[in-house]
Amino acid sequence: FVLDGKQRLTSIIEYLNDEYPLHMETPSAEIEEEEHEIAGKLFSELDESVQDQITSYMLLIYKLDDTTDEQIEDLFYRLNNGTPLTKQQKGKAKMGTDWANKIKGLVNHPLMQEKASFTKLQLRKADNETAILQTMMLLDPEHSLKSISSNDVFKYTQEFKSDKENKASLVQEIEKIMDYLNKAFDNKETVLLKKVHFPMTLLTVTRALELNIDPLDFSDWSAEFKNALKEKGDTTTDYKEFSGAGSVKREKTIGRVNSMKKHFEEYFSQTNIYNVEKQEV
């Protein structure tokens, strides 16, 4: 595997195989004080001494042993871009242009642009795209969730080209969820639409849609849930028990989704407007 210099090595090998001639303006080569015309010539057309000079040239190569795939990817992007890229940025290449544009469409949704709360640093790292992909992973019936870590998000992006119909359906579902939340929140939502809570909030909306909960009533619930996070309000939650160390792992991720949904369902079960039955992921 060549991390850097593949194009140069390929060009050298192709020239040695007579696959192209040198440019017509290539200057002559001087070997042992003797001039050799090489412009416009294939390798086989060069003087023998010139051929020997080329084939005897030593290329400096750095060989990497016992290197993980992650380290290889990191080295590749550092060498080719000058700065390290995030897993999500690397994932775009794996997804392909078509899918990258579909995800970009979700990133440009009014909810993401006006209501979601991602810091400038998170936006530079494409964490908003990561949060969308984490949501897709949680919604995806074809995906076997291990965690929502950056590594697993990156692996998930490699499924897109071979699972087009299912992934397209998920994109539509998330767009519908975003439309709902855009109606629920008038202003920037600085808690539930932060990166850490974003996927859980969108998963809770799926339950709201099932129950035909009005977006404004959802907004009222969100205020109660935020009070519960502060250990205030009438309905308690164990959401925080699934946060902290290892929070990206499957058990804790699903724990937060179920805790938020549980609070949501208990809140609405106390009203006379909706008939709510508890449901777990």
Tokens matching residue 29: 């080569």
Tokens matching residue 82: 């000058």
Give the tens place of pLDDT for each residue, 96-132.
678 888 999 999 999 999 999 999 888 878 899 999 9
What is the pLDDT at residue 5? 82
pTM of the full structure: 0.67
Give the tens place of pLDDT for each residue, 202-241.
999 999 999 999 999 999 999 999 999 999 878 899 999 9
30: enclosing H helix or E strand: strand 29-31
* Phi, psi torsion values for 37, nearest 5 degrees: -80, 125
Residues 177 and 205: beta-carbon distance below 8 Å: yes
What is the pLDDT at residue 244? 83
What is the pLDDT at residue 65? 85
∠ Cα 14 19 22 (to 5°): 90
In 3D space, the residue among 270, 176, 255, 261 whose CA is nearest the CA of residue 215 turns out to be 176
Residue for token pair 């949704």: 109
Tell me the three state secondary structure of residue 244.
coil
Q: List, run by run, the mean pLDDT of 10-residue segments along the chain (281 residues).
A: 81 95 94 92 95 92 81 69 60 73 93 94 88 96 93 90 92 97 96 96 96 95 95 89 89 96 92 63 63
Task: Please state, in angstroms and rounded to a whole number, the distance separating the CA atoms of residues 141 and 150.
Answer: 20
What is the pLDDT at residue 99? 86
- Name residues whose C-beta falls within 8 Å of residue 259's C-beta, 6 or more positions apart in sequence: 237, 238, 239, 241, 242
